[in-house]
Structure 1
Amino acid sequence: MSKNLVRKPIEIKISTVVAVSAILRELDMNVLKSALQDMTGGAPDYFDNEFTIIDFADVDLAGQSIDWPALIALFKAYSLNVIAVRNAPSSMESDILAHGLGIDSVPPSRPVPQPEEPQAPASRPAPAAPAQPALQSAAASTRSTMIIDTPVRAGQRIYAQGCDLVVTAAVNNGAEIIADGSIHVYAPLRGRALAGASGNDGARIFAMSMEAELLSIAGIYRTFENGLPDNIAQRPAQVRLTGDRLDLLSMSAAVRS
């Protein structure tokens, strides 16, 4: 066999991993357990073994100690697999790593470019050079829409990084489509659709026939093991985020999820 045809025993590639964020506002295990019980209604399949990042941004950790095995086990009991921690103090990092978890760093948010105020006419034209960097920055943040013309099959994952995603064929059960912008599916949308993946809460999901297993915008998501509402299922619909709630809208009505 040619040396060039020998398969590598391991190959490392960059991959987009979708994880849910568990934003803690309490540290008491009994309180957290009760909250998860209320959230899931005791349904064992409410979460589907999702990768989970624990976020401590909304809790005061000063002088606190975390029982990591107990916390990880609690989430595991509700089919949430903790893989990383976000917004923890540096003093906890060694303990976090010792329990096999990663440190998730949140990138700084980018300000939305604003149009410049019109300037009063000057006696001579101002040099154009100072304005160029802002124009280049705005242009650099705008990317073409990704268009997929073939069916997205079970096990496939498509990620439209920095742009909208348009799919003109069916998205099948077990497939996953992700976009930093909005998602448009001009065919049945089954599987999982995650719009606004980089935090864009103005993103939306549109489908000619809504049949999704999971819908998410900017990290807020909902699963539909028991089916979509009757006036949404298998009909043209869109999904938008209102506060921390997903709204599903048909041609004539809005349904609060």
Structure 2
Amino acid sequence: MASDEAAAPARRAAFELKGTVASLTVIRLLVPELARVDAQLGTQVAQLPRFFEQAPVIVDLEALGEAAARVDLSELAALLRHHRLVPVAIRHLAAEREAEAGRAGLGLLRGPAARGTSGPLEATPPSAEASTPTSAAPERLRAAATDPRRNAGERGTTASTAAEPAQLEPPPPAPAMATEALGSLLLTQPARSGQVIYAAHRDLVLLAPVNAGAELIADGHIHVYGALRGRALAGAHGDKAARIFCSSLEAELVSIAGEYLSADRLPERFRGKPTQIHLQGDELVFRPL
């Protein structure tokens, strides 16, 4: 009997393999010149450093078409790591370059779209107010790092790392200091999956739901008069007085001035309820509306 009990742990499986849908940021290259990618990524990481730190990312080459052959994968991977991103995979890569991807430490994402030979897609012109990445919603995978510290009651402390949007459209230019705040950016249509909406130097007001996979970013407050199922990042330039208001809290991630909580750390009693979120010290505090 004793020998059977001793052998029992050895018979138990050491691990399980499970399919899951996690969230990873997709960096969709629009130009093959890595110097331009480096400069732009440096600017965006500087704006939201804690969102990018150690964020796992997927590189998408589809928009480059034949110009993708000019991208040095090892140099690209090193560039991303230099900015403290973690490149985990690449898609829309020519089959003859798969070994090169392996040497660069990049996994391969295959599928009908990845095997196709479609040419470059039309790039959406950047906007200072809003931009819409063209990657398909199922591919906007993110693996937001969860906070190892406990989430006590209505408060949640934040981890130092998270996967956040590594949008490669140029960021809006920073205007000179204004003496008056801009009026709120008011939108009446739902925020679609894969869409990124940025309200620079103002509040963002949405009179419609925010779908999963959508992302709201504002330098001021964020108001959602509907279900908040995507991500909401208020106080993006460090305004700790910014708040998030929503009619139904179902978010994938909420953040104020760089302090954030992902979906699995949100207080259960506020899920699906009208909620306001603000900072108290370095903690996010949730209160009913």
Identify the TM-score tier after normalising by the shorter chain: 0.3 to 0.5
Bigger relative contact order (CA 8 A; separation at least 6): 2
Give the TM-score normalised by structure 2: 0.43
Q: Which has the higher helix share?
A: 2
